C-alpha cells in the first residue's frame, strides 16, 4: 500500500485543480499587478476574483473585507498587533490557553509591553470556560481572540455564543479559524466576528498564502507598511499565483461543504476511532466528542509515548501526529493537552489522526488492522505498565 497521510491538520496536499489554476500565473500572467502597463493591469482582475471566492466561502458581504497575507500566522499577528496598537494598552487582551502559538506568543508580546493579557482555561474536554470569559469582560474594554476549532483535538468552540458575549460587553472579537475554514460551514454575515484568520495550506492550496477577514469599520493599525497594496492594509507585491490558488481552493471547499462530503470524512474518522478504541487496550479520545471537526480524532494510548507510536506508524507508511512537543530533550505533552488536565499516563500517548477529502476507507482499514500490533508491542516495553 502507498503511504497513508493522516496529518491533514498539519498541512494538506495541493489539489491538482489548484495547481492547474495557478500555472498560467507563473508562465504567462506574471506581471506586477501595480504596473500601469498591460502585463500588470491584466492580472489585478484575477486577484479580485480570488478575493470574491474567499469572501464567498466565509459569507463575507463585501470582498474588500478580505486581505491576503502570507499564512495563518501572519493573519493572527496582523489581527492582534493591528487592534492592540490601534486601541492602546487601555484594552485588555483576552485569549485562551489552547490557542496556536501564533496567537499565544503575540499576546505574550503585548503582555511584556504593558497590556493586561488573560488566558482563559478549558475543561477536561477542551471546552472554553464561558463564565471566566464573562468575568474577564466585565472589568473594562477588551480585545478577545479565540480559535474556532482546535488544531490538536478538533474541539469546536461555541463561536456564536462567544461572539455574542464579547459584543454585548463592547469588545472586539477575532477568531483564528485556520482549522475550521473548509471543514465547517462559516458565515460571518450571521456570526458577527470582527476579524477571522485563515490559511491556504490547510485547505489544499499551497503553503505561503493566507487571508484575514476584517469587518468594515474595524480599527486596525497597519502591520506591514510600504506600498499601498491591499488598500494600504498589507504592503508588498501580491503573490498572484498563490492568491489565485487560494481562491480556487476556497471555491472547491465551498462545493465540498455544500455537497455534504464532510459527512463522509466524519464517517471514516468515526470508523478509525471506533476501530482503535475496540481493538487497542486502554485508549481514550481527548476532547469534546459531540463538538469536533469532522476530520480529527485525538486518541490517548495509555502508558505509551506518542512519539514511539508515530515512529512505528511511520515505519508502516502511516503519517500521523502527536500531542507532544519535544522541549529541551524531555517529551512534554503539548500545552493543549496539559490545559485540559489529561492525566500524565494518557497525555504522553496522545496521537492525532487528521483526515482529508482524499482519505479512503482502504487506508482507514489498514490503520485499524495494524494499530493493535504497534500498541501491544509498545505497551510491553513501557516502564509505566
| 128/169 with CB nearer ligand PLP | 128
Q: Which of 95, 106, 151, 218 binds ligand PLP (CB under 6 A)?
A: 151
Q: Which of 8, 95, 199, 346 binds ligand PLP (CB under 6 A)?
A: 199
SS (H, E, C) 61-91: CCHHHEEEECCHHHHHHHHHHHHHHHHCCCC
Is residue 100 part of the contact set for ligand PLP (CB under 6 A)? yes
Q: How many residues bind ligand PLP (CB under 6 A)?
A: 14
CB of 24 to ligand PLP, least distance (A): 25
The single residue listed with the C-alpha cell 459531540 is 290
CA dist 12 and 109 (Å) reads: 30
| 229/334 with CB nearer ligand PLP | 334
The strands making up 92-96's β-sheet, listed across from edge to edge, are 66-69, 210-214, 195-199, 172-176, 142-147, 92-96, 117-120
Is residue 71 part of the contact set for ligand PLP (CB under 6 A)? yes
Sorted by sequence, the CB contacts under 8 Å of residue 16 that are 6+ apart come out as none
Q: Count the neighbouring beta carbons within 10 Å of the beta carbon of residue 12.
A: 23
Is residue 359 part of the contact set for ligand PLP (CB under 6 A)? no
What is the maximal distance between C-alpha atoms in the chain? 71
309, 286 contact by CB (below 8 A) = no
Q: Which stretch binds ligand PLP (CB under 6 A): 68-76, 161-169, 251-259, 343-351?
A: 68-76
Q: What angle do CA 357, 242, 231 make, to 5 degrees?
A: 125
Q: Which stretch binds ligand PLP (CB under 6 A): 69-77, 239-247, 276-284, 371-379?
A: 69-77
293, 265 contact by CB (below 8 A) = no
| 147/378 with CB nearer ligand PLP | 147
| 199/229 with CB nearer ligand PLP | 199
Q: Count the neighbouring beta carbons within 10 Å of the beta carbon of residue 241.
A: 22
If we measure between CA atoms, which residue out of 257, 295, 291 comes closest to residue 273? 295
Is residue 286 part of the contact set for ligand PLP (CB under 6 A)? no
336, 324 contact by CB (below 8 A) = no
The alpha carbon of residue 29 and the mean position of all alpha carbons in its chain are separated, in whole angstroms, by 31
Partners of 330 in the beta sheet? 327
CB of 145 to ligand PLP, least distance (A): 11
Beta-sheet pairing, 296-301 with 283-285 = antiparallel
Q: Which stretch binds ligand PLP (CB under 6 A): 157-165, 173-181, 274-282, 297-305?
A: 173-181
Question: Is 280 annotated in the active site?
Answer: no
Q: Which stretch binds ligand PLP (CB under 6 A): 109-117, 131-139, 176-184, 337-345?
A: 176-184
Q: Which stretch binds ligand PLP (CB under 6 A): 67-75, 236-244, 248-256, 307-315?
A: 67-75
Q: Which of 12, 53, 73, 351 binds ligand PLP (CB under 6 A)?
A: 73
Q: Which of 7, 21, 119, 176 binds ligand PLP (CB under 6 A)?
A: 176
Q: Which of 178, 224, 252, 310 binds ligand PLP (CB under 6 A)?
A: 178
Active site residues: 326
> Binding residues for ligand PLP, per CB under 6 A?
71-73, 76, 100, 102, 147, 151, 176, 178-179, 199, 201, 210
Amino acid at each position: 500500500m502507498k503511504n497513508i497521510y493522516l496529518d491533514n491538520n498539519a498541512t494538506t496536499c495541493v489539489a491538482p485543480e489548484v495547481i492547474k489554476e495557478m500555472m498560467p500565473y507563473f508562465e504567462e500572467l506574471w506581471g506586477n499587478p501595480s504596473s500601469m502597463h498591460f502585463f500588470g493591469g491584466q492580472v489585478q482582475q484575477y486577484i479580485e476574483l480570488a478575493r470574491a471566492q474567499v469572501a464567498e466561502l466565509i459569507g463575507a458581504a463585501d470582498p474588500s473585507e478580505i486581505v491576503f497575507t502570507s499564512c495563518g500566522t501572519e493573519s493572527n499577528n496582523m489581527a492582534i498587533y493591528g487592534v492592540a496598537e490601534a486601541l492602546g494598552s487601555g484594552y485588555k487582551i483576552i485569549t485562551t490557553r489552547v490557542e496556536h502559538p501564533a496567537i499565544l506568543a503575540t499576546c505574550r508580546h503585548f503582555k511584556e509591553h504593558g497590556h493586561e493579557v488573560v488566558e482563559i482555561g478549558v475543561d477536561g474536554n477542551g471546552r472554553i470556560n464561558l463564565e471566566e470569559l464573562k468575568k474577564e469582560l466585565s472589568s473594562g474594554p477588551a480585545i478577545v481572540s479565540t480559535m474556532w476549532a482546535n488544531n490538536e483535538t478538533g474541539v469546536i468552540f461555541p463561536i456564536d455564543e462567544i461572539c455574542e458575549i464579547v459584543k454585548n460587553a463592547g469588545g472586539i472579537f477575532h477568531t483564528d479559524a485556520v482549522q475550521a475554514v473548509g471543514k465547517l460551514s462559516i458565515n460571518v454575515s450571521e456570526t458577527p466576528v470582527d476579524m477571522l484568520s485563515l490559511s491556504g495550506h490547510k485547505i489544499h492550496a499551497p503553503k505561503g498564502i493566507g487571508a484575514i477577514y476584517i469587518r468594515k469599520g474595524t480599527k486596525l493599525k497597519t502591520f506591514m507598511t510600504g506600498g499601498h497594496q491591499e488598500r494600504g492594509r498589507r504592503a508588498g507585491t501580491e503573490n498572484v499565483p498563490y492568491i489565485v490558488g487560494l481562491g480556487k481552493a476556497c471555491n472547491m471547499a465551498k462545493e465540498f461543504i455544500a455537497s455534504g462530503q464532510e459527512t463522509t470524512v466524519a464517517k471514516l474518522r468515526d470508523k478509525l476511532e471506533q476501530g482503535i478504541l475496540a481493538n487497542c487496550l486502554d485508549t481514550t479520545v481527548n476532547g469534546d466528542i459531540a463538538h469536533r471537526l469532522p476530520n480529527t480524532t485525538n486518541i490517548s494510548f495509555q502508558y505509551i509515548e506518542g512519539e514511539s507510536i508515530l515512529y512505528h506508524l511511520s515505519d508502516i507508511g502511516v503519517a500521523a501526529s502527536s500531542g507532544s512537543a519535544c522541549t529541551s530533550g524531555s517529551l512534554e505533552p503539548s500545552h493543549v493537552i496539559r490545559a485540559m488536565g489529561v492525566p500524565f499516563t494518557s497525555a504522553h500517548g496522545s496521537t492525532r489522526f487528521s483526515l482529508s477529502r482524499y482519505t479512503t476507507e482502504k487506508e482507514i482499514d489498514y490503520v485499524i488492522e495494524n494499530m493493535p500490533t504497534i500498541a501491544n508491542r509498545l505497551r510491553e516495553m513501557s516502564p509505566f505498565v
